């Protein structure tokens, strides 16, 4: 049973420092970390290695965006953890403006392994995010659906559970890390804690950590509690930085809905085969 989930956001992005950058993978809107963000990721790794061994995670599940995998790598290296790519905790984009194309989607674990050799390609993502974007309600429903599918899978559902090998033998993972984005971190916290938190009030800074522990048996949604404060950054040299919350989004004054965003130029004729979101097919390599 998953007992503890650590939720962390990627580090400081290069495009916050300069407009002169290119995508390492060729995926649009996929900046690397700035040098400062790399330093934050190294501090994050030191934080996890400072934990008592019994509290340390045994697996990392990262958004497929470069900045997240780059943030996860020092932690995976320091703790010798498997690094899994999970699209279900990927970036949130508001609905696309009609006629402007689709939002970007990074590649699968196989294509990303050339940049991050620690990626374990035996794991395929549980969920794919719609390239048509999501409303506020939809991104929360996406996270709910992802967790309800992901947790049983890791704990022992079908396909077979992921194994944790240690001196004590082989077991399923009980403590894991999610490395995501501000929005996906917030919706993860809200889904796991349920009515115990107000998602609109949560703000998440770069490389901050939210620790969540399961407090009740049974399902996943609402079964966890936040230990301490959401978005703890006390272990980082400069504390909380670039914090973001859903109160920061642009909302149409007439409709009250989040303002649409433009898709990627050139993707107008592409098809989003998973625009509805949902579980991956068994033979999927995403």
Residue 284, domain member (yes or no): no
pLDDT at residue number 163: 64
CB 230 within 8 A of CB 204: yes
Q: Please name the residue that has the structure tokens 């958004």.
A: 63
Structural domain includes residue 254: no
CA distance 123 to 126: 9
Contacts of 198 (CB under 8 A, 6+ apart): none
Determine, yes or no, domain membership for 56: yes
CA distances from 211 to 4, 218, 280 (A): 7, 20, 28
User: Which residues, listed in sequence order, are joined to residue 6 by a DSSP beta bridge?
Assistant: 177, 211
- The low-confidence residues of the chain, meaning pLDDT below 50, are 168-170, 275-285
Chain segment 205-240, per-residue pLDDT in tens: 999 999 999 998 889 999 999 999 999 999 999 999
Residue-range definition of the domain harbouring residue 106 = 4-248
Asked if 107 contacts 85 with a C-beta cutoff of 8 angstroms, the reply is no
Q: How far is CA 155 from CA 1, 170, 223, 263, 266, in A?
A: 5, 13, 15, 37, 41
pLDDT tens track for 248-267:
998 887 787 899 999 999 99
- Structural domain includes residue 160: yes
For residue 269, the model assigns a pLDDT of: 85
Structural domain includes residue 228: yes
Instruction: Look at residues 32, 36, 93, 86 and name the one whose alpha carbon lies nearest to residue 63.
Output: 86
pTM to 2 decimal places: 0.92
Q: Is 268 inside any structural domain?
A: no
Nearest 5°: CA angle at 76, between 73 and 82? 115
Selection from 144, 180, 100, 159 nearest residue 277 by Cα: 144
Domain-located, residue 267: no
Here the tokens at position 179 are 């490395």
DSSP string, 64-108: SSHHHHHHHHHHHHHHT--EEE-GGG----PPBPTTS--------
Q: Where are the alpha helices (DSSP H) in the chain?
A: 35-50, 66-79, 109-112, 136-155, 182-193
CA dist., res. 158 & res. 264, Å (int): 35
Total domains, the chain: 1
Nearest residue to 1 (alpha-carbon basis) of 191, 215, 174, 224:
174
Q: What is the CATH number of the domain that holds 60?
A: 3.40.50.1240
C-alpha 135/C-alpha 95 separation (Å) is: 6
pLDDT at 272: 85
Position of tokens 């984005």?
181
Upstream peptide bond of 54 is cis (omega within 30 degrees of 0):
no
Residue 154 lies in a domain: yes
Environment class of residue 209 by beta-carbon count within 10 Å: exposed (0-12), middle (13-18) or buried (19+)? buried
Q: What is the pLDDT of residue 250?
A: 80
For residue 111, the 8-state DSSP code is: H
User: Of the candidates 231, 261, 152, 207, which has an alpha carbon nearest to the alpha carbon of residue 36?
Assistant: 207
Q: Which of 186, 178, 223 is nearest to 204 (CA)?
A: 186
């Amino acid at each position: 049973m998953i007992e503890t989930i650590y939720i962390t956001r990627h580090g400081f992005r290069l495009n916050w420092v300069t407009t002169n950058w290119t995508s390492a993978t060729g995926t649009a809107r996929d900046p690397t970390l700035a040098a400062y963000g790399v330093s934050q990721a190294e501090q994050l790794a030191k934080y996890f290695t400072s934990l008592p061994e019994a509290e340390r995670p045994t697996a990392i599940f990262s958004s497929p965006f470069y900045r997240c995998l780059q943030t996860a790598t020092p932690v995976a290296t320091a703790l010798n953890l498997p690094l899994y790519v999970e699209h279900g905790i990927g970036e949130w984009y508001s609905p696309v403006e009609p006629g402007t194309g689709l939002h970007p989607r990074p590649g699968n674990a196989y294509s990303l392994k050339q940049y991050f050799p620690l990626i374990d390609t035996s794991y395929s993502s549980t969920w794919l995010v719609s390239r048509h974007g999501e409303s506020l309600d939809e991104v929360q429903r996406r996270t709910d659906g992802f967790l309800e599918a992901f947790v049983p899978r890791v704990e022992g559902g079908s396909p077979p559970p992921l194994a944790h090998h240690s001196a004590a033998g082989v077991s399923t993972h009980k403590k894991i890390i999610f490395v995501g984005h501000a929005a996906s971190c917030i919706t993860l916290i809200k889904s796991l804690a349920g009515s115990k938190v107000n998602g609109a009030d949560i703000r998440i800074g770069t490389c901050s950590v939210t620790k969540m522990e399961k407090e009740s048996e049974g399902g996943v949604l609402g079964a966890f509690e936040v230990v301490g404060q959401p978005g703890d950054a006390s272990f980082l040299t400069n504390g909380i930085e670039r914090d973001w919350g859903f109160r920061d989004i642009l909302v149409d004054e007439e409709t009250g809905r989040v303002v649409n965003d433009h898709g990627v130029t050139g993707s107008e004729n592409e098809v989003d085969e998973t625009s509805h979101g949902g579980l991956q097919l068994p033979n999927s390599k995403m």
